[in-house]
Amino acid sequence: MKSVIKLTDVYKTYMMGSVEVQAVRGINLEIHSGDFIILMGPSGSGKSTAMNLIGCLDTPSQGSIFLDGQDISQLDESKLAQIRGKKIGFVFQKFNLLPALTAKENVTIPMIFQGIPESEANQRALELLRLVELQDRSHHKPNELSGGEQQRVAIARALANDPEIILADEPTGNLDTNTGNTIMELLVSLNKKGKTLIVVTHDPDVRKFAKNEKVFNIRDGKLI
């Protein structure tokens, strides 16, 4: 099975004033095409930093990160942004929808950034909203949608450029239990269709969706 993301002896160090903080300390992790990975840890464990590194939102202080065999550790932000836009779809805890735009317009944004013609982007956005069962809410703005509906729009947006990898950061964090379960079932269904799924969470209930998948715990910046 093809390796899509590989972290080799990855460290991330931040300076907080004159204090050096090691947020991630020597992580080694290999993620294959079609994997369903859960990365668990409490606040302050380093899981958010690890997520940023896995998702090419940040570069390591030491070590290497390979995406589809390419070492991205030393790439500048513009090149990282290009790679992220094509390879990785992000689902954020706080949804990060643009409040002035409708659901459909929020889903089209990643496609417009990749140069897809507006008419094609609009058509695909409607198809994706149908996939998450929100086709009837396409013209509603985020403040007119429930939390679960906003998260489903965020998932549709993550799929806009048909990425191989979906990275979900605390996807159930702002939702009630039933809505969170619905969102996880949707993400798992995408994994079953071939998407590589990485879920970063502190919610132990998410483990029930893992079954035989790979669950990693992170403490003090290390995988344990």
Task: Identify whether 1 is part of a domain.
Answer: no
| Span of 135-139, 154-158, 202-206 with lowest mean pLDDT | 202-206
Of the candidates 120, 151, 119, 122, the residue with the CA atom closest to the CA atom of residue 134: 151
The identity of residue 117, as a single letter, is P
Q: Is the pLDDT of residue 96 over 80?
A: yes
Q: Is the pLDDT of residue 66 over 80?
A: yes
Amino acid 213: pLDDT: 67
Query: Which backbone phi and psi does 142 adopt, to 5 degrees?
Result: -50, -40
CATH number of the domain at 199, please.
3.40.50.300
Residues in the chain: 224
- The residue-averaged pLDDT of 53-72 equals 89
Range of the domain at 113: 34-56+76-217
- The residue-averaged pLDDT of 148-154 equals 94
Asked if 96 and 107 touch (Cβ cutoff 8 Å), the reply is no
Rounded Cα–Cα distance for residues 132 and 135 (Å): 8
Of the candidates 50, 45, 81, the residue with the CA atom closest to the CA atom of residue 65: 50
* Tokens 């039933």 found at: 178
Task: Identify whether 18 is part of a domain.
Answer: no
Order of strands across the sheet that contains 70-71: 19-32, 3-16, 62-67, 70-71
Mean pLDDT across the chain: 91
Task: Identify whether 8 is part of a domain.
Answer: no
Task: Identify whether 146 is part of a domain.
Answer: yes
Provide the domain count of the chain: 1
User: Would you place residue 209 in the very low, low, confident or very high pLDDT band (cuts 50, 70, 90)?
Assistant: confident
Task: Identify whether 139 is part of a domain.
Answer: yes
Task: Identify whether 20 is part of a domain.
Answer: no
Tens of pLDDT along 114-123?
899 999 999 9
User: Which two three-digit tokens encode residue 67?
Assistant: 């995406």
pTM: 0.91
Task: Identify whether 67 is part of a domain.
Answer: no
Q: Is the pLDDT of residue 212 over 70?
A: no
Tens of pLDDT along 121-136?
999 999 999 999 999 9
Task: Identify whether 29 is part of a domain.
Answer: no
Tens of pLDDT along 152-178?
999 999 999 999 999 999 998 888 899
